Amino acid sequence: MRFFALVFCVGILTLGVLGIFTNQTPAYGASNLPLGVKAAPTIELTPTLTRITLPLTPDAPCRLVDVQERPLERQSILQFTARPFSSQVIKSSSSHPSRNMNAFYFEMNPNGRLQLFVKHKVPSTVNMKCRGSDMVIEVLERYKAVEYSETIAKGLKYVRYAVAPHAGALFRTHHLEWDPSNSTAKLTPLMPDPSSLRGLKTAKSTLAQYNGLAGINASFFNANLRIPLGMVLKDGEVLNGTLFNRVAFGLDMQNRASMEQVELTGLIRVGRWSQAIEIVNMPRNNGEQVGLYSRLWGKQSPPAGGGNIAVRLRNGRFDAITQAGTLAIEGANDWVIYGSASRLNKFLSTDLGTSVDVLLSTLPDWSDKSMILAGGPTLLKKGQIYIDLEAQRFGALPPNQRRPRTAIAILPNNKVHLVVVDAAPQGATLQDTAEILQVFGAVDAMNLDGGTSTQMVVQGQVKFATVQGGAVVSTVLGFVPSLPWPAM
């Protein structure tokens, strides 16, 4: 396939240089280029590259043609006149289904005619160059071609691509491409209920509540509790977190993007006594964890009992305690500390009204972030594929299953892509998704909730959803109208 794609690329890329014409049906062109061929081309195939080397006679200079990232038609003929090199007719024909090649035909005859005919399934990226006296034509079977594009707002557009990350692989992807340096769109997590973490709705319904421009499904979630799993910070406020120190995407106040594993840490302090907080507004992973719960969790704290106690803080002071049952969370100034009695026994001997300090921070220090959204696993780190399932405790996630995928990527110059890999013509593995994002030059990238949750909505229109209309999800990563940052 690579050889065919390569030859095809030659035909297109040398248009105007060798007098070649390409079309959906074979077309012919001719040229009297002073090219002396001294031997038949050699063909090399690697998993991602086809290389044709055409040896030239010493008196015929190699002419350099260098074209990158050019989608090609699916069949072409390259025909030109070369100096007679042999009295023998050389012919070759073959096919390479594994390389997406349907047919190949090559002919060089004593009259000096060189003809290359190639028919293949997908286009490629071509590079032609001179290496000594040889003309070398290289085709990398890795490309992206725009199928559809529309501008949503200044600095934000929706683009649908056909992408081939390597030989024999073809995917359709949907991108929300954002340049935050001068955009009238703001990227932010959106919840189905603005006053609560709990709730499940389709991405289309959630975006409509906020007059959203476009968005994708985002966080993994607990379907029974109807709550996102993993850290979410919106407009500088911690909504919940964290889960297994998983990778997160963050933006600072100047919309500079970052991506790395982030852990939310906390500390409760009463006088000289202190206790670590391990989660915020999240279900506990084990009976020893100490969590902090706000009104976003619900009207009631998790139930005490079974060795756990609940402590309510109101306006920063110790207000109530229970060793059985729940405590009401009545307003924005109420917080409940919940955990094992062995870790919170200090409150059993503390007077009501005592001042209690609650400190939250992150490792690494992301205190400059205005928005954080966790996902996982990592797909790319510094441009290299890095899928760390075990480190981020994604043992139940099927990495090699082909399914629709949702991801977010940071590109050079601080550009951001929100990406959905379509189910047509095939879903993608995590490895496929990472390779697809490499084609776009992504530096860092992470996976988000995929499979049946995968969906993208643009201006009220569902561009892709695994379930018709979109499945209900807990979080949408969406764009809302915003004014650009003023010039400094």
Higher pLDDT, 215 or 124: 215
pLDDT band, very low/low/confident/very high, at 441 (cuts 50, 70, 90): very high
- Say yes or no to pLDDT of 10 above 60: no
Domains and CATH numbers, the chain: 2-141 (2.60.40), 149-235+247-258+370-481 (no CATH), 263-363 (2.60.120)
% residues pLDDT > 70 (the chain): 74
Percent of the chain's residues with pLDDT above 90: 61
- What is the pTM (predicted TM-score) of this model? 0.79
Span 163-189, mean pLDDT? 92
Task: Kindly compute the dihedral angle of the four CA atoms of residues 160, 417, 73, 2, in this order, to the nearest 10 degrees.
Answer: -130
> Per-residue pLDDT tens for 151-161?
999 999 999 99
Q: Mean pLDDT of all residues in the chain?
A: 82
Q: Quote the pLDDT of residue 152.
A: 98
**Band of the pLDDT at 275, cuts 50, 70, 90?**
very high
Rounded CA-CA distance 177/180 in Å is: 10
Residue 53 has what pLDDT? 79
Q: What is the pLDDT of residue 142?
A: 78
Task: Say how far apart CA 142 and CA 439 lie, in whole Å.
Answer: 7
pLDDT of residue 399: 80
What pLDDT score does 11 carry? Answer: 33
Lookup: tokens for 6: 């390569």
Q: Is the pLDDT of residue 178 over 50?
A: yes
What is the full DSSP assignment across 418-440?
Answer: EEEE-SSS--B-HHHHHHHHHHT
Cβ atoms of 308 and 282 within 8 Å: the answer is no
Give dist(CA 46, CA 123) in Å, integer: 17
Max avg pLDDT among 18-22, 255-259, 262-266, 394-398: 255-259
Mean pLDDT, residues 423-440 taken together: 94
| Calpha distance 405→168 (Å, rounded) | 19
Band the pLDDT of 9: cuts 50, 70, 90.
Answer: very low
Could you tell me the pLDDT band of residue 312, with boundaries at 50, 70 and 90?
very high
Mean of the pLDDT values across residues 120-137?
68
Cβ pair 126, 73 in contact under 8 A: no
pLDDT at 323 > cutoff 90: yes
Q: How far apart, in Å, do the first and last CA atoms of the chain sit?
A: 53
Q: Judge whether 476 and 246 are in contact, CB under 8 Å.
A: no
The structure tokens 């809302």 sit at: 480
- Mean pLDDT lowest among 93-102, 199-208, 300-309: 93-102
pLDDT of residue 453: 97
Interval 157-179 mean pLDDT: 91
Average pLDDT of span 95-116: 58
Average pLDDT over residues 27-38: 40
Q: What is the pLDDT of residue 285?
A: 84
Q: Are strands 279-280 and 291-293 parallel, antiparallel or unpaired?
A: parallel
**Average pLDDT over every residue of 381-392:** 93
Angle (nearest 5°) at CA 457 between 451 and 461: 125
Average pLDDT score over residue span 439-443: 95
Collapsing DSSP states into helix, strand and coil, what is residue 471?
coil
113 — pLDDT class (breaks 50, 70, 90): low
Write down the pLDDT at residue 201: 98
- Mean pLDDT value across residues 406-431: 96
Is pLDDT at 96 greater than 50 in this prediction?
A: yes
Residue 25: the pLDDT is: 25
